[in-house]
Amino acid sequence: MGNIRLFFEESLSINLISKLDKSQSHYISKVMRVAKGQSFSLFNNSGEWEAQVKEINKGIVSFLILKKIRSVSTAKEVWLAFTPIKLNYLNFMIQKATELGVTKFIPILTERTIVRNINEKRINKIIIEASEQCNRIDVPSLEKLINFNQFLKLHKNTNIIFGDLNSNNDKIIIKNKNPICILIGPEGDFSEKERYAILNLKNINSLKINNNILRAETAAISMISILSFNFLS
């Protein structure tokens, strides 16, 4: 079975017979050369399952679920709130954040956000591909794009970790079991008004990551790594 893993959106169970879509069928049969009778892995929020190729007909792979390999473990909720950035940098950030264990992505619009929209379909594709590659079962969710004030209202009780170059704090203190959300600003940083609003949140941790000014994607990966080392390991 090797390391061939595919995300399958529909429900999975033992003895289920179903079909892969055209793209996944091509990957299994033409790219990875998995033949009839050979096995590969399918996963979704029901767990990870061993699937056997039952038939390949007109380029479409039919499969039979043989057994459950892994169950979904309860992951600690780590969210990433970010402002849209240039496409290549955004793709990289989403991919690496998925690999590092982020469970939810929250795109927000701020006063200085330059890129004002996101391609949800493209981002979800990157999330799924990264999940397949990094051996995780739970696939992170992507929230709808919201503005900065909406974000503050929705996350009054969330533990916010805010990367702030002006902060003297170099430690993260989490006092409750609420979800943790890393907040990353736009390329031009938050406005003073926005920064004031963030620092007045109930469960705020402002954190100085580095003395240098970091790109948004670098700041995100750095903060996730710091959080993972201190709280998630």
Q: Tens digit of pLDDT for each residue in 176-200?
A: 888 899 999 888 889 999 999 999 9
On the question of pLDDT at 76 being above 90, the answer is no
Query: 169 pLDDT band (50/70/90 cuts)?
Result: confident
> What is the model's pLDDT at position 207?
84
Q: Crossing angle of helices 120-134/87-99, nearest 10°?
A: 40
Token duo for residue 20: 């892969």
Is residue 180 within 8 Å of 159, Cβ to Cβ? yes
Assess whether pLDDT exceeds 70 at residue 9.
yes
Rounded to the nearest integer, the mean pLDDT of the chain is: 91
Cα–Cα dist 78/63, whole Å: 34
In this predicted structure, the answer to whether residue 145 has a pLDDT above a threshold of 50 is yes
- pLDDT at residue 2 is higher than 70: no
Question: CB of 159 within 8 A of CB of 178?
Answer: yes
Cβ pair 93, 120 in contact under 8 A: no
pLDDT > 50? residue 175: yes
pTM score: 0.90
Contact 50, 4 (CB under 8 A): no
Residue 31 to residue 82: CA distance in whole angstroms: 35
CATH code assigned to 78-232:
3.40.1280.10
Show me where the domains of the chain are located.
5-70, 78-232
Span 61-87, mean pLDDT? 92
pLDDT grade for 231, boundaries at 50, 70 and 90: low
- Average pLDDT for residues 39-49, to the nearest whole number? 95
Give SS3 for 74. Answer: coil
Report the pLDDT averaged over residues 50-55. Answer: 97
The pLDDT of 55-59, averaged and rounded, is 95
Q: Which residue has the higher pLDDT, 171 or 204?
A: 204
User: Which CATH number is associated with domain 5-70?
Assistant: 2.40.240.20
Give 1's pLDDT tier (boundaries 50, 70, 90). Answer: very low
For the cut 80, the answer to whether the pLDDT of residue 151 exceeds it is: yes
Lowest-pLDDT choice from 33-37, 106-110, 167-171: 167-171
